[in-house]
């Protein structure tokens, strides 16, 4: 069984649709949703899903960030493999089978779904693309990995491995933290190409240049100052 973790914050327009899409995937699964103190009606929408089969909904009383949501969800995981799924519609759950295959075949401990390996993608913001590439390059310089997309949402793990990582970051620093800790553990990491239907800021995209600058700090912190 796979466990799909969905951190969500102010995604009232997409949350029901993404849950529907995850449910339609033909794999044995559980869905764990953590609402990070949404204020736009997302919490009310999630209350309607709480009784759904295979769905666990958890609520934060204050906004803490994606990393904190992942920590909360990890306590509830029952599956053998964990997939992180954003609550927007940028990533396609129909690609789960491709993402878990290297783990199922015994080749990988973790799998990253890369937006930059040639899969179909919506054409969007140049500087956002450049920022992603720079952060991945900077991370690779410390970890000695050759990832193409460190900041991707689609990160997949053996459940035992994810729990061993002991996530510390509360917010978007969780992406470089996870990557650094996987590298330090000398885990077998695979990348697979995925499609990407990105959205712009007018459509609700939340990560911005400040998060990008902070990510450089987190890369240094977790590589040089963290065990």
Burial of 157 by CB count in 10 Å (0-12 exposed, 13-18 middle, 19+ buried)? buried
DSSP-assigned beta bridge partners for residue 2: 29, 81
A 10 A CB-CB count for 30 gives 17
CA torsion angle 83 111 210 19 (round to 10): -20
Q: What pairing do the DSSP bridges indicate for beta strands 110-114 and 189-193?
A: parallel
pLDDT tens, N- to C-terminus, the chain (227 residues): 999 999 999 999 999 999 999 999 999 999 999 999 999 999 999 988 866 678 999 999 999 999 999 999 999 999 999 999 999 999 999 999 999 999 999 999 999 999 998 777 676 677 778 888 999 999 999 999 999 999 999 999 999 999 999 899 888 789 999 999 999 999 999 999 999 987 555 545 556 667 678 888 889 988 887 66
CB hemisphere CA count around 96 (13 angstroms): 21
What dotted CATH number matches 2-224?
3.90.550.10
DSSP code, position 115: T
| In 116-184, beta strands by DSSP E | 155-158
Give the full edge-to-edge strand order of the sheet including 155-158: 55-59, 29-35, 2-8, 81-84, 155-158, 110-114, 189-193
Cα(183)–Cα(172) distance, rounded to whole angstroms?
Answer: 18
């Amino acid at each position: 069984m796979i466990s799909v973790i969905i951190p969500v914050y102010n995604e009232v327009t997409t949350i029901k649709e993404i849950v529907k899409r995850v449910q339609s995937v033909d794999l044995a699964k559980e869905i764990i949703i953590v609402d990070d103190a949404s204020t736009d009606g997302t919490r009310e929408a999630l209350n309607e899903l709480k009784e759904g089969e295979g769905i666990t909904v958890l609520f934060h009383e204050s906004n803490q960030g994606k990393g904190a949501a992942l920590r909360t969800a990890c306590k509830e995981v029952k599956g053998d493999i964990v997939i992180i799924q954003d609550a927007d519609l940028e990533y396609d759950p129909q690609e789960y089978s491709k993402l878990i295959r290297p783990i199922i075949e015994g080749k990988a401990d973790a799998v990253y779904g890369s937006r930059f390996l040639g899969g179909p993608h919506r054409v969007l913001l140049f500087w956002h693309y450049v920022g992603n590439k720079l952060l991945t390059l900077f991370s690779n310089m410390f970890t000695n990995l050759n990832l193409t997309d460190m900041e991707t949402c689609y990160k997949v793990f053996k459940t035992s491995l994810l729990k061993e990582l002991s996530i510390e970051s509360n917010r978007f620093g969780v992406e470089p933290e996870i990557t650094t800790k996987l590298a330090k553990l000398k885990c077998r990491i695979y990348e697979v190409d995925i499609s990407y239907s990105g959205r712009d800021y007018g459509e609700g995209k939340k990560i911005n240049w400040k998060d990008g600058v902070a990510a450089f700090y987190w890369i240094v912190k977790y590589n040089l100052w963290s065990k």
